[in-house]
Amino acid sequence: MNRLMIELNGLKLEHPVMNASGILGSEPEHVDILVNAGFSGIVTKTFTKNPRNGYPPPIIVELDNGGYLNAVGLANPGINGICPVVERARRHGKPVIVSIGGSSLSEFIEVSIKAEECRATAIELNMSCPHVKGHGLDLGSDPSMVYTLVKEVVSTINTPVFVKLGLCDKIIESAGKALEAGASGVVLINTIRAMAIDVYTGKPVLSNKYGGLSGPPIKPIAIRAVYEVYREYNAPIIGVGGISSWRDVAEFILAGARAVQVGSVFMKNRRIVYEILEGLEKWIEIHGVSSIMDLVGLAHRV
């Protein structure tokens, strides 16, 4: 028996570690890299209806606190880039979650339909990007908008829909509205809106001025978000934010996440998934349970 196998409303994974959207995933050859790295499911880069060039460089900077600041601008090849990526993942026998972004309801629906036609295993609605105006967080911070958008997408397609939400004052309410509208689960959280300034030039480091903070500095915030949403709804949750070890994954699971997505650390350590899995196997043994699913939300029961 595979003790690391998990299930998210019908989405079955051989273990709980996927890549986070934005870490490769816009081209078929990226899928090969992610599969070789050991991820149980492939999450694509966010696709929009039309191609986006994103922001000019610099678009990413490593910070002294171990985190990263990035503003890529949702760069992607557009709707026609979805099928080649999905087909490559399916060739490897891996579930593939297509991340979808948009600035309007019709755009989300059109790209979701395309993802289903391409035989995506699931869809992740990006309502969390903190640095593209009119997309992402601007939508996810409005619970009524979350409900309307998710309801329309879910009623249009048969593919399972997950909703990725970013940090905002109404994240718990938005998560509830996503679930009420028929989402199969929520993904918490994305990077956090932040900024860095060069002390010599006096200018913001990123071309977009603002970016998203990722890496270890945001993990405690992400853990808190997962804990609170699980406490409120006992829902299927995928945890994201600052994971760099098996202990971090264990913490997310105890808070209520059934699976996780790994991002920034993969840029430095291509073996991180295998290291996490080795640690989780020993952790399960220490707790004396037959499945990692038995440990989901344990922090709420002790």
Evaluate whether residue 205 is within a structural domain. no
Evaluate whether residue 63 is within a structural domain. no
Domain count, the chain: 1
Domain span at residue 175 reads 6-53+72-193+216-300
- Model confidence at 22, pLDDT cuts 50, 70, 90, reads confident
Cα–Cα distance list, 81 to 9, 43, 44, 78, 88 (Å): 27, 14, 10, 6, 12
Residue 281 has a pLDDT of: 97
pLDDT tens digits for range 195-225: 999 999 999 999 999 999 999 999 999 999 9
Read off the amino acid at residue 152: E
Evaluate whether residue 207 is within a structural domain. no
Evaluate whether residue 203 is within a structural domain. no
Evaluate whether residue 198 is within a structural domain. no
Alpha-carbon distance of 210 to 122, in angstroms, equals: 30
Q: Read off the pLDDT of each residue in 101-112 and give the average, rounded to a whole number.
A: 93
Q: For position 129, which CATH number holds?
A: 3.20.20.70
Evaluate whether residue 200 is within a structural domain. no
Alpha-carbon distance of 3 to 301, in angstroms, equals: 21
Evaluate whether residue 130 is within a structural domain. yes
Evaluate whether residue 148 is within a structural domain. yes
pLDDT score of 258 more than 60: yes
Residue 131 has a pLDDT of: 52
Active-site residue, selected from the candidate residues 83, 118, 129, 168: 129
Question: Does residue 168 have an active-site annotation?
Answer: no
Q: What is the pTM of this model?
A: 0.96
Torsion of CA 280, 294, 2, 163, to 10 degrees: -80
DSSP labels for 171-196?
A: HHHHHHHHHHTT-SEEEE---EEEE-
Residue 263 has a pLDDT of: 93
Neighbours of 177 (CB within 10 A): 23
pLDDT tens digits for range 117-170: 999 999 999 987 665 555 566 677 889 999 999 999 999 999 999 999 999 899
